[in-house]
């Protein structure tokens, strides 16, 4: 086994193993996609052929295996949930503020604005805004999905919005973010892709048809939540493994680290730990790999303190 796991407790059961795979999936998708973020599919093809190796570079000039804000913000959120023992808006705001002060490699405009407002005024929720329909609240939602596993759907949705509204306060952002969290929870508990479609995707499309992944292939997905999630849903529906799903989504270019991160958390939860490609895991930054593994289990343990997730 790689040394990463030497002092990390092994997941206790299938739910725990899938939770770890979801967290590693987030980081793997971020690291894979960052290389081609903001490129077009044609540029990716010309430069990499089919991009399928975690090799760093990209516009951020990353080291191979390095992750970006998608993963580091999720880890900051997760640490705040663990420290507070709850989904506490103030604790999360403080954690985001500290995260920004530590100079992350990148940061979205809406995220920056929300954190600066929190810092200046202590504001815990941005006013509703049609401009806040970016993917920044969705990309970091995984720790909330883990910490609220087993809670009623309404409570899960509320928890998603508490973390989201610090920076993004928009009905499309909320709907997309809540749907991804609920899909992850269903997958952790053994739901297959078909069940995710029927239980979560179809109701989302009923409420917000703009998310419907049917139709034109989403290429160059922007940071707008509906573009991002349409690309993720298409990739998930067109493939049948973690690896093929992530390769499909990041080669669409655009906001590829974030489509990779969201597809990665979903596909990791859905296909489980054995589906994560070993060469990708070996390439992933070791500290990040370890942090994801540890935090996934700590958040589940916190969820179990409330109610017991079932297999
Ligand atoms: Mn990023
Ligand atoms: Mn991005």
What distance in angstroms lies between residue 208's CA and the mean position of ligand 2's atoms? 23
Which superfamily does 14-303 belong to? Answer: ADP-ribosylation/Crystallin J1 (1.10.4080.10)
The span from the CA of 274 to the CA of 269, in Å, is 11
pLDDT in tens, 227-286: 999 999 999 999 999 999 999 999 999 999 999 999 999 999 999 999 999 999 999 999
Position 45 confidence tier, pLDDT thresholds 50, 70, 90: very high
Residues, Cβ < 5 Å to ion ligand 1: 68-70, 257
Ligand 1 centroid to residue 311 C-alpha, Å? 32
Q: How far is the CA of 260 from the centre of ligand 1 (A)?
A: 10
* C-alpha radius of gyration, the chain, whole number: 17
**Cα 223 to ligand 2 centre (Å):** 7
pLDDT in tens, 86-113: 999 999 999 999 999 999 999 999 999 9
Instruction: Please write the tens of the pLDDT for every residue from 129-150.
Output: 998 999 999 999 999 999 999 9
The closest ligand to the CA of 73 turns out to be 1
| Helix pair 109-121, 89-101: axis angle to 10 deg | 110
Nearest ligand, measured from the Cα of 70: 1
Average pLDDT for 68-80:
98
What is the pTM (predicted TM-score) of this model?
0.95
Average pLDDT, the chain: 95
d(Cα 256, Cα 252) in Å, to the nearest integer?
Answer: 7
Q: Which pLDDT belongs to residue 17?
A: 97
Closest ligand to Cα 222: 2
Q: How far is CA 152 from CA 87, 187, 284, in A?
A: 15, 16, 34
In the numeric block, which tokens belong to residue 17?
């193993």
The DSSP bridge partners found for residue 283 are none
The alpha carbon of 305 and the centre of ligand 1 are apart by a number of angstroms equal to: 32
20 CA → ligand 2 middle, Å: 22
DSSP per position, 28-62: HHHHHHHTTTT--HHHHHHHHSS--S---BTTTTB
């Amino acid at each position: 086994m790689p040394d990463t796991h030497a002092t990390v407790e092994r997941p206790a059961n299938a739910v725990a193993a899938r939770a770890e795979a979801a967290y590693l999936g987030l980081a793997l998708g971020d690291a894979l996609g960052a290389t081609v973020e903001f490129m077009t599919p044609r540029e990716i093809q010309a430069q990499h052929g089919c991009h399928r190796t975690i090799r760093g570079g990209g516009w951020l000039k990353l080291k191979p295996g390095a992750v970006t804000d998608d993963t580091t913000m999720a880890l900051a959120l997760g640490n705040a949930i663990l420290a507070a023992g709850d989904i506490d808006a103030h604790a999360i705001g403080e954690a985001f503020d500290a995260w920004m002060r530590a100079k992350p490699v990148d940061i979205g405009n809406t995220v920056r604005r929300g954190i600066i407002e929190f810092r200046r005024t202590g504001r815990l929720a941005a006013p509703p805004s049609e401009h806040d329909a970016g993917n920044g609240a969705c990309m970091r939602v995984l720790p909330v999905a883990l910490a609220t596993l087993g809670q009623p759907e309404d409570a899960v949705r509320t928890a998603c919005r508490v973390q989201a509204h610090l920076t993004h306060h928009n009905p499309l952002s909320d709907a997309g973010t809540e749907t991804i969290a609920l899909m992850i929870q269903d997958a952790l508990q053994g739901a297959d892709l078909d069940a995710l479609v029927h239980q979560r995707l179809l109701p989302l499309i009923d409420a917000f048809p703009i998310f419907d992944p049917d139709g034109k292939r989403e290429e160059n997905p922007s940071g707008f939540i509906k573009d991002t999630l349409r690309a993720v849903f298409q990739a998930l529906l067109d493939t049948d493994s973690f690896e093929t799903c992530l390769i499909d989504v990041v080669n669409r270019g655009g906001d590829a680290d974030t489509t990779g991160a969201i597809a990665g958390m979903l596909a990791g939860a859905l296909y489980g730990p054995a589906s994560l490609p070993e060469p990708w895991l070996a390439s992933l930054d070791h500290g990040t790999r370890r942090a994801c593994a540890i935090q996934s289990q700590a958040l589940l343990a916190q969820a179990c303190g409330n109610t017991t997730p079932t297999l």
